[in-house]
Structure 1
Amino acid sequence: MSNATVTGPRPGQKFAPWEDSSAKPLAEFRSVAKRFGDFTAISDFSLKIYEREFFALLGPSGCGKSTVMRMLAGFETPSAGEILLGNQNIVPVEPHERPVNMMFQSYALFPHLTVEDNIAFGLRRMKMPKVQIEQRVSEMLALVQMDKFRRRRPHQISGGQKQRVALARSLARRPKLLLLDEPMAALDKKLRRETQLELVDIQCRLGTTFIIVTHDQEEAMTVASRIAVMDHGKLVQVATPLETYENPANRHVAEFVGDTNIFPGTIEPAGQGMCRLRDDASGCSFLATQSKPFVAGKRYFLNIRPEKMEMTAGHPQDGDNCIEGRVLDIAYLGNLSTYYVDIGQPKPLLVQMTNSQRVQSGHFSYNDQVWVSWHPNDGLLLDC
């Protein structure tokens, strides 16, 4: 990468301005709503995004995440509420007058222009002096490692290289906010993973605030300092990747961010900060840590991630949290295997086990009778 001055947070560095009550957000949505006729796309949306964050808007198609980004860019006008950048309400400000740039999914490179001319296009529109344009373009080419391709046209470079050029063009005007709309959707999985890490490194070097829209949970977890999970035009949870995965706010977040197993049922106290959930379908009783107050007799969901489950051929010694089943299917993914275990319910249990050795001994096969178990601390109770 380039030798640009490091201004953003580095991996492992403590960076949590959202935990500081005195920190001022760079961008803020205040009770924003967006309606298209009778359809409400965004409802009572309030969110704070801080300087130097790499922020992700995550959710399924149609949840409203792109509408949020388009309102921030100025391509859509809120039906209600305010959008602040710094201390200024930017709702009345024209898109080209906002210190915001947007990188589109299609990259939108000019096919008749070279790589360097694509990057310089916006700077020329700003009437920046020629010497400064040449210097800025060279900086951007070095930043995205595309200097030796500066004379080529878009049809002469790969998809990953086009993505870098589009990023360089978006950053050339040094916006306060860079908006990325599914920027890696067109890349293959391996290149996408490499590009994600490069994107994080570039953001760290520049210190520019990035906001990415994606439906890819893995992508959001890889690049973001915080993730806003959306559903039907509303914010469901805003948290770090770790918090989002390990402590989802509800069943929607638990099932959307990664794989999980859900047991619905009623709970009762079990003493010493523990409770028991009686599974509706199997009638089995599972022990769980009481992490927050609960109402006895009320229905809850017990959420357990597949990698936190253990699978054995015999009945485990600790019989509190275990259930018998049959291996229905196996997905071998190289570094790990996912086992689909039939426990007599419509949806099989998912159990993930790492393939730590090249030749696995004592592994499980199709139709094997097994026992699945987990530690009480690894289950999370969620409200219905």
Structure 2
Amino acid sequence: MLALSEAPAVGSETSTPWTNAQATPLVEIRSVSKQYGDFTAIGDLSLKIYPGEFFALLGPSGCGKSTLLRMLAGFETPTAGEILLNGEDMVPMPPEKRPVNMMFQSYALFPHLTLEQNIAFGLKRMKLPKGEIDSRVEEMLQLVQMTTQAKRKPHQISGGQRQRIALARSLARRPKMLLLDEPMGALDKKLRRETQLELMDIQHRLGTTFVIVTHDQEEAMTVASRIAIMDHGKLMQVAPPIDTYETPASRYVAEFVGDTNIFTGSVTAAGSSALDFTLEVSGQSLNALPQPGIAAPDARYLNVRPEKMAVSKDRVDDGSNYLRGRIDEVAYLGNLSTYYVDVGLDQRVLVQMTNSQRFGSERFAEDDNVWVSWYPQDGQLLDR
């Protein structure tokens, strides 16, 4: 582990090595499969994780993300394929020999030991000199801002503080990669958000590679430099959070990450700068822009995020797409209002509008007849 003052400048160009074809990955997973009898948990999966990344494995329960994490830790053995760390094959290496540590959701702190003794436990098993153990324990306590509670035991501190100590213990052995298995699942929403920011700050300062497993889309979007979205043991998309949200690779990814509206149809007319997308149910034509990497005839879906849309009582011909509808439900959430609008299709349209003014903003109620609109550039065509 580098001293904090020597940590690499995460956030500079070195924090996006996946954009550099010459960059060397810390971890390279090559055509890995994991089977349990006839069940395939991971199927022919390949992935690169680079030094200094905060990498998230995201997906629903049973998608294979925890199995992949356990294979990185050495608790599971691939049925086929290779897992390389710094070019060295880790598959035959037992967990205790790997330069990797894992932090579990339960934290697994020893209740009879003090916090500093919990941090020192793994270091003693490494048979390090007492002076070095004491130095590392103090460094870790300072890192997680728990120096004044060092003599307490786990039951004497809060859940968020126990999470910090578990993190400190995991980092004390100076692993090249830290694996986190749903580390914030036991925390309430407010504490989880605070802990996410603390975790990002610690990872930023240390520059250690973090790999986190989560089913919480918001958590992955908050902490990760890149997100690997999984389904049925396969990678659906690997990209930074902004690309995952704004340019999902498929309907599955678009619907899994955040709220969205998916319209089914086909491109009926193509131009150099605009396309006509005809809705399957109503036959109405919408304007869309060509999508890089997707041939116009293959476009089957139009993806529009709810915050890109607006609700109005009047239609203004400003080049927007418009759908006529009636408001079914309204949810006032303080900072924004959510409208569910029946536009005569086989689905309701979800629209989210910011309440930017305390008074004076246009209000809508159930059963109001309205127009739903969005600019063509705010829709994304998908072919799968």
CA distance in 1, matches of 2:296, 2:96: 56
CA distance in 2, matches of 1:211, 1:5: 23
The root-mean-square deviation of aligned C-alpha atoms, in Å, is 1.6
Determine if contact 1:8/1:207 at 8 Å carries over to the other structure.
yes
What corresponds to 1:254 in structure 2?
Answer: 254
Q: Indicate whether 1:163 and 2:163 are aligned.
A: yes
What corresponds to 1:323 in structure 2?
Answer: 323
Determine if contact 1:316/1:371 at 8 Å carries over to the other structure.
no
Change (3 A) 1:136 1:360: farther
SS class of match (2:128): coil
Q: How does 1:270-281 map to 2 (within 5 A)?
A: 270-281=270-281
What corresponds to 1:241 in structure 2?
Answer: 241
Determine if contact 1:288/1:376 at 8 Å carries over to the other structure.
yes
What corresponds to 1:285 in structure 2?
Answer: 285
What corresponds to 2:190 in structure 1?
Answer: 190
What TM-score do the two structures reach when normalised by structure 2?
Answer: 0.96
CA distance in 1, matches of 2:208, 2:300: 42
CA distance in 2, matches of 1:338, 1:252: 22
What corresponds to 2:84 in structure 1?
Answer: 84
Q: Indicate whether 1:366 and 2:366 are aligned.
A: yes
Residue 76 of structure 1: CA displacement?
0.3
Q: How does 1:201-240 map to 2 (within 5 A)?
A: 201-240=201-240
CA distance in 1, matches of 2:185, 2:360: 35
* 1:131-190 deviation per Cα after TM superposition (whole angstroms, max 9, x unaligned): 111111111011001111111111111111111010000000000000000111111111
Residue 297 of structure 1: CA displacement?
5.2
What corresponds to 1:150 in structure 2?
Answer: 150
The letter of the residue matching 1:46 is: S
CA distance in 1, matches of 2:312, 2:116: 59
The letter of the residue matching 1:15 is: S
Deviates more, 1:12-21 or 1:69-78: 12-21
Segments of structure 1 that go 5 or more residues without pairing to the other structure are none
Residue 9 of structure 1: CA displacement?
3.8
Deviates more, 1:127-136 or 1:44-53: 127-136
Q: Indicate whether 1:334 and 2:311 are aligned.
A: no
CA distance in 2, matches of 1:11, 1:23: 16
What corresponds to 2:31 in structure 1?
Answer: 31
What corresponds to 2:175 in structure 1?
Answer: 175
Determine if contact 2:260/2:306 at 8 Å carries over to the other structure.
yes
What corresponds to 1:306 in structure 2?
Answer: 306
Change (3 A) 1:78 1:152: same
Determine if contact 1:228/1:237 at 8 Å carries over to the other structure.
yes
Residue 15 of structure 1: CA displacement?
2.2
CA distance in 2, matches of 1:231, 1:360: 45
Q: Indicate whether 1:64 and 2:99 are aligned.
A: no
The letter of the residue matching 2:27 is: A
The total of aligned residue pairs comes to 382
SS class of match (1:5): helix
Determine if contact 1:316/1:373 at 8 Å carries over to the other structure.
no
SS class of match (2:202): helix
What TM-score do the two structures reach when normalised by structure 1?
Answer: 0.96
* 1:283-315 deviation per Cα after TM superposition (whole angstroms, max 9, x unaligned): 211110002365565551000001111111112
What corresponds to 1:136 in structure 2?
Answer: 136
CA distance in 1, matches of 2:185, 2:347: 30
Change (3 A) 1:90 1:339: same
Deviates more, 1:171-180 or 1:125-134: 125-134
Residue 14 of structure 1: CA displacement?
6.1
The letter of the residue matching 1:170 is: S
Q: Indicate whether 1:352 and 2:352 are aligned.
A: yes
Aligned residues with identical type, % of pairs: 64
Determine if contact 2:290/2:296 at 8 Å carries over to the other structure.
no
Change (3 A) 1:110 1:172: same
SS class of match (2:358): coil
CA distance in 2, matches of 1:294, 1:274: 14
CA distance in 2, matches of 1:232, 1:239: 19
Change (3 A) 1:307 1:9: farther
CA distance in 2, matches of 1:97, 1:157: 32
Residue 359 of structure 1: CA displacement?
2.8
SS class of match (1:167): helix
Determine if contact 2:279/2:285 at 8 Å carries over to the other structure.
yes
* 1:242-285 deviation per Cα after TM superposition (whole angstroms, max 9, x unaligned): 11111100000000011110001111234232111111122211
What corresponds to 2:112 in structure 1?
Answer: 112
* 1:24-50 deviation per Cα after TM superposition (whole angstroms, max 9, x unaligned): 100010000000000000001000000
